[in-house]
Chains A and B, each alone.
Chain A
Amino acid sequence: MKYSSLIFLVLIGFNIFIWYYVVSGAHDDLNIYFLDVGQGDSELVVLPDDIKVLIDGGPGKGVLFELSEVLPKTDKYIDLIVMTHAQLDHFGGLYDVVNRYKVGAFVTTGRDGESEAWNDFAKLLKEKEIPVILVGAGDVVKYKDSIFLVLSPNEEFLNNKEINESSLILKLESEGASALFTGDMGFETENFLVDSYDMDIDILKVPHHGSRFSSGLKFLAEAMPRISVIEVGSNNRFGHPTEAVLSRLKSVGSSIYRTDKNGTVHLEINDGIVSILAEK
């Protein structure tokens, strides 16, 4: 009899657990979260039907807390993790994500990092037996009406001596809107994009945390993003985002959101209509 109340409790919990899923159902809009992970990048894209794509993971464990705010508490599955390039402020947090979530597949360019930290992470990926998919310019990731186009790197950029220029560039087209995820790309990649593609987009993840060696006017004039989000830590030692970039973004009429000022920036997109829900 001593344990009857405990068993009862467990059964109640089990019931709530099941019914929660039955009742809540999946979203049918597109949600993009620019997570506040300090000085580093991490974006979570939740496609219609709750398909979760995490692009980069910031420098440390902060991403876990952000994810748990955004995803249901019991949701421990991420469909795709995309890593733009192997620098610590982009993959550091992925170490713990991979450790704690079940992951469908890991998507990246195939260029290895040079640090001891990267070796550690690569080892963990192998241990967890997560399928790794290497992509390059021209590849496509598709789910129903949503499509991720891989714009860069091609062979040349992949081996660029500057690792930032080897960043995986993704353009998302879904729910009548388009968003560009840019990693840490610089002018070189920007020019390549402008020359090779039709770059008109609605939402821009501002490249390289607003470094002055990115977000050139030539690129911005083509892209004309209506919403720009800068992922940056407050009082970082790099002086990101730079005044130069902020004024360039303003000059093309883009509204600017920053994770250091606005916290996590959440865009809810339904049939071309974007609602912006910033934390602060």
Chain B
Amino acid sequence: MHLHDKAFYVALFFIIGVAAAGLGVNVWLTLFAATVASFVAIRSKIFVALFVGITFLGFFYFNFYTVAQNENFPVGEKIEFEGVVYSQPKHGLKSQELNVELEDPLKGTVRVYTEPLPRFQYGDRLKIAGTITESPSGRLNIVSFPRIERVGVAESRAVKKKLFELKDSMVQNLNSVLSPQHASLMSGLLFGERAEFSDEFEDAMQKSGTTHIVALSGYNVAIIGITLSTALSYFIKRKYAFYASLVAIPAFVVMTGAEASVVRAGIMGIIMLLAERQSRIYSFRNAVTLTAFIMLLFNPRLLVFDTGFQLSFAALLGIVYIYPLLKKRFKIEENEGVMGWKRNLFQTFSAQVAVAPIVLTSFGYFSPTALFSNVLILEFIPVTMLLGFMTATLGFISYGLSLVLGWVTSVFLGYEIFIINLFSLNWF
């Protein structure tokens, strides 16, 4: 067996172990299934033993992680506690949303809702007096409109803070030249910022099956990566452009809040870059398993409990494994220029088919118009993102130029918003 096959199976069986533990499957049953599976795949006793061992490791790791992460705080009692804002606050239309990591003697994380002002920032250390209540959706526990006092700023988070500031000033540049509706969609496309979406618009995106365009999927990361490396290769040598991309991709991932789907796209992007540079063959199968493996090492709960993680991988698998079949069957040419709508149609369809089971079980909802809305929108997303990125960057240099370019961007954003609203209507 080749080394890359071994690596693949090790990662795969680890993932199986994590999945089984997450789903609460009996450990003996899991090991038995792993034995059968590995025996079917590889008829070698040593490897069967190895892979069963790896499966057990995955199973064990999940439980170990869960115990180590145990939360410790009283629920439903009025208490006073200190904590640090550990992700970027969402400044919504009517309230502010802060994710706070509790400090000793308590342990765990909570979500705090509070008035829009004063604005709290990433890294703020807060003294909070309020009641922690259980989240109805089983996510982070909630503290609603408590009394908050800013007692300081946590150190040692300088790099992250700088990245957030950079993103904030780019969003700010968009805000100062675009209308609020347009600016919020643009920030969604570029940075996954959704704080300013009105409830109606969120709803419209869900009904038209277009939420994924602002959920910063691999699609957005790929567009940004390609744009960035093309732009860089104009200014600097190829070799340096490679290193610059190696820095830029993780920076972007962190800047946008490191959600599972972005991390997934970021890691795969880097693997792709490395493979290209080393002139190695880029094996999709290995890249995707390795990515999942790395992410689960950091947090094994993602696999079963994070819908974003599941959707991201499912959509990717759909596009990579289902789309080629359709492509052959319907004889779609790559690089067909204006007729790219066909590619969009079948890629959307492939992804939709792959994510359908997850969407149905998690949200209990499925968009019947998603195919049409996506075909009409996706073709224009790259150019919109490019224009939006240029508008945001120009804002640092000249307000006037940024304003003019923003106007051109607005034409595309207006069209996209129109399509989203159109396909969210109940047609039947």
Binding site for B on A (CB under 8 A): 6, 9-10, 13-14, 16-17, 38, 59-62, 64-65, 68, 73-74, 76, 88, 92, 95, 99-101, 115-117, 119-121
B152 CB–A CB distance under 8 Å? no
Sample of 29 A–B contacts (CB below 8 Å): A9-B408, A10-B405, A13-B408, A17-B407, A59-B116, A60-B93, A60-B94, A60-B95, A61-B91, A61-B180, A62-B94, A68-B180, A68-B181, A73-B407, A73-B410, A74-B407, A88-B117, A92-B116, A95-B117, A95-B119, A99-B172, A100-B176, A100-B180, A101-B176, A115-B118, A117-B115, A117-B118, A120-B117, A120-B118
Q: Which residue of A lies closest to B94 (CB)?
A: A60
Q: Which residue of B lies closest to A120 (CB)?
A: B118
With the chains together, A60 CA to B198 CA distance in Å? 13
Give which listed residue, B115, B177, B196, contacts A76 with CB less than 8 A.
B177
Is A68 touching B179 in the complex (CB atoms < 8 A)? yes
Please give, as numbers and ranges, the residues of chain B lying within 8 Å of A38 by CB-CB distance.
94
With A68-B181, A92-B117, A121-B117 as contacts: A61 and B172 at CB distance below 8 Å: no
Label chain A's interface by main secondary structure. Answer: helix
With the chains together, A73 CA to B413 CA distance in Å? 13
| Chain B interface category by residue count | 20 to 34
With A120-B117, A121-B117 as contacts: A65 and B180 at CB distance below 8 Å: yes
Give which listed residue, B119, B196, B198, B408, contacts A120 with CB less than 8 A.
B119
With the chains together, A65 CA to B201 CA distance in Å? 13
Give which listed residue, B118, B181, B403, contacts A65 with CB less than 8 A.
B181
Q: Which residue of B lies closest to A18 (CB)?
A: B404
Please give, as numbers and ranges, the residues of chain A lying within 8 Å of B196 by CB-CB distance.
61
Is B116 touching A74 in the complex (CB atoms < 8 A)? no
With the chains together, A88 CA to B118 CA distance in Å? 10
B153 CB–A CB distance under 8 Å? no
Is A13 touching B179 in the complex (CB atoms < 8 A)? no
CB distance from A224 to the nearest CB of B (A): 37
Is A73 touching B404 in the complex (CB atoms < 8 A)? no
With the chains together, A100 CA to B395 CA distance in Å? 12
Within 8 A of A (CB), among B116-172: 116-119, 150, 172
Please give, as numbers and ranges, the residues of chain A lying within 8 Å of B94 by CB-CB distance.
38, 59-62
Please give, as numbers and ranges, the residues of chain A lying within 8 Å of B179 by CB-CB distance.
68, 73
Is B404 touching A76 in the complex (CB atoms < 8 A)? no
B175 CB–A CB distance under 8 Å? yes
Is A65 touching B175 in the complex (CB atoms < 8 A)? no
Please give, as numbers and ranges, the residues of chain A lying within 8 Å of B247 by CB-CB distance.
none
CB distance from A253 to the nearest CB of B (A): 36
Please give, as numbers and ranges, the residues of chain A lying within 8 Å of B92 by CB-CB distance.
61
Is B408 touching A10 in the complex (CB atoms < 8 A)? yes
B7 CB–A CB distance under 8 Å? no
Not counting A59-B116, A120-B118, a sample of 6 additional A-B residue pairs whose C-beta atoms are within 8 angstroms of each other reads A13-B404, A17-B407, A60-B93, A68-B180, A101-B176, A120-B117
B226 CB–A CB distance under 8 Å? no
Please give, as numbers and ranges, the residues of chain A lying within 8 Å of B181 by CB-CB distance.
65, 68
Please give, as numbers and ranges, the residues of chain A lying within 8 Å of B93 by CB-CB distance.
60-62
Is A14 touching B404 in the complex (CB atoms < 8 A)? yes
With the chains together, A86 CA to B17 CA distance in Å? 59
CB distance from A238 to the nearest CB of B (A): 16
B411 CB–A CB distance under 8 Å? yes
Within 8 A of A (CB), among B74-132: 91-95, 115-119
